[in-house]
Amino acid sequence: MIDSSAISDAISQATGQVFHLAHHAASGAGCINQTYHLHGQDGRQFFIKLNTANRLAMFAAEAAGLNEIAATQTIRVPQPITHGIAGAQSFLVLEYLDLAGPDNGALLGKQLAALHRTQAAQFGWRQNNTIGDTAQQNEWSDDWITFWRERRLGFQLTLVARNGCSARLQQNGEKLMGRLADFFVDYQPAPALLHGDLWGGNHGYTVLDEPVLFDPAPYYGDREADIAMTELFGGFGADFYAGYRAAYPLHTGYALRRDLYNLYHILNHANMFGGGYARQAEQMMEKLLRSIS
């Protein structure tokens, strides 16, 4: 249920123009938040996400992440308008974009490559955020292998242990973390700005054929991690990969590291949803360990 008065006041204050909500409609997007398309009496439209009041930090981090990507001027993201608490709910109001345009994968690949050329001095980000519904640790590190071991795989494996997943999964995870250097023998990634949660459902195209990224979990890391996730659940065509590689060719060892990066997301799904994801993670670990044996 939307607190229309509080939300209207927040939009009015953020935009400097009085906003009165005329009506709203559930968007059906996302599985973590309630989402709505807002229509104002003056014709303006916005997109809003709602969650419990204690998730305000999640929305604040998402707004900061969108601003981080937008500042690169490489690829479009919805502009954050305002975020806050209304009653028992936290909210994030975003620019509304009509994502009914046709695919333009080649341009998406080219623009993602440009985003990845935005680099930092270290791996991580200035604040923590979330990946799905899970906390994501982004404390800065000078070393990528250490970052991936401690902030990504190690953190998820700690959650796995709390959630009662198999001892074998945890044992293989520890073994794999001890062998991470073997995946980087002739490769030193640069700290590139990543979307961080780049599955097929987090991109679209405007009616002007303009690629759009949304729902980011950004940090500075190996760009291969973004590309790997695009292959995890599908949703990206051959023209996307051709556009990306033409603009920013991948290292020849990418295929070896792809499952290593996607393991993080499968472990996260195991922690969020359970089911067969824990077994999938165990199989991925076994495959990865065989590849370096």
CATH number (domain holding residue 271): 3.90.1200.10
| Mean pLDDT value across residues 19-31 | 83
Does the annotation count 98 as an active-site position? no
pLDDT of residue 225: 98
Residue 238 backbone dihedrals phi, psi, to 5 degrees = -60, -30
Higher pLDDT, 274 or 70: 70
User: Token pair of 58, please?
Assistant: 């999640």
Same domain, 235 and 109: yes
CATH code of the domain containing 33: 3.30.200.20
Residue 98 has pLDDT above 90, yes or no: yes
Residue 91 counted as domain residue? yes
Same domain, 150 and 56: no
Confidence band of 158 (pLDDT split at 50, 70, 90):
very high
DSSP code for 124: B
pLDDT of residue 29: 62
Determine contact, residues 160/169, Cβ cutoff 8 Å.
yes
| Mean pLDDT value across residues 132-151 | 97
Which runs of E-coded beta strand occur in the chain? 21-26, 34-40, 45-52, 80-86, 89-95, 129-131, 134-136, 192-194, 203-205, 211-213, 219-221
Residue 274 has pLDDT above 70, yes or no: yes
Confidence band of 163 (pLDDT split at 50, 70, 90):
confident
Q: Which of 24, 200, 15 is nearest to 95 (CA)?
A: 15
Residue 103 has pLDDT above 90, yes or no: yes
Same domain, 165 and 77: no
% of the chain beyond a pLDDT of 70: 99
Same domain, 80 and 136: no
Confidence band of 234 (pLDDT split at 50, 70, 90):
very high
User: Token pair of 33, please?
Assistant: 């938040």
Residue 257 counted as domain residue? yes
Residue finishing a domain among 34, 66, 95: 95
Same domain, 206 and 287: yes
Determine contact, residues 48/92, Cβ cutoff 8 Å.
yes
Same domain, 160 and 214: yes
The residues that bridge with 132 in the sheet, in sequence order, are none
Residue 290 has pLDDT above 70, yes or no: yes
Same domain, 109 and 50: no
| Mean pLDDT value across residues 220-247 | 97
| Mean pLDDT value across residues 53-72 | 98
Same domain, 252 and 147: yes
- Tell me if residue 87 falls in helix, strand or coil: coil
Same domain, 119 and 242: yes
Residue 170 counted as domain residue? yes
Query: Can you tell me the distance from the alpha carbon of 101 to that of 39, in angstroms, rounded to the nearest whole number?
Result: 21
| Mean pLDDT value across residues 113-139 | 97
Same domain, 27 and 71: yes
Average pLDDT of every residue of the chain: 95
If one counts the domains in the chain, the total is: 2
Residue finishing a domain among 64, 95, 126: 95
| Mean pLDDT value across residues 210-216 | 98
pLDDT of residue 2: 80
Query: Can you tell me the distance from the alpha carbon of 103 to that of 21, in angstroms, rounded to the nearest whole number?
Result: 32
pLDDT of residue 27: 82
Residue entry with tokens 């939300």: 7
Determine contact, residues 290/178, Cβ cutoff 8 Å.
no
Residue finishing a domain among 71, 95, 119: 95
Lowest mean pLDDT among 164-173, 197-206, 273-282: 164-173
% of the chain beyond a pLDDT of 90: 90
Residue 61 counted as domain residue? yes
Same domain, 60 and 179: no
Per-residue pLDDT tens over the stretch 175-184? 999 999 999 9
| Mean pLDDT value across residues 16-27 | 92
Q: What is the CA radius of gyration of the chain?
A: 20
Residue 100 counted as domain residue? no
Dihedral (Cα; 163, 272, 61, 47), 10-degree rounding: -160
Range of the domain at 28: 4-95
C-alpha pair distances (Å), 153 with each of 68, 156, 281:
24, 5, 11
Catalytic choice (3, 197, 222, 226)? 197
Determine contact, residues 141/122, Cβ cutoff 8 Å.
yes
User: Cα dihedral sign for 18, 24, 28, 31?
Assistant: positive
pLDDT of residue 30: 63
Residue entry with tokens 């996607």: 262
pLDDT of residue 124: 98
Same domain, 51 and 142: no
User: Cα dihedral sign for 139, 143, 146, 148?
Assistant: positive
Residue 278 counted as domain residue? yes
| Mean pLDDT value across residues 225-242 | 97
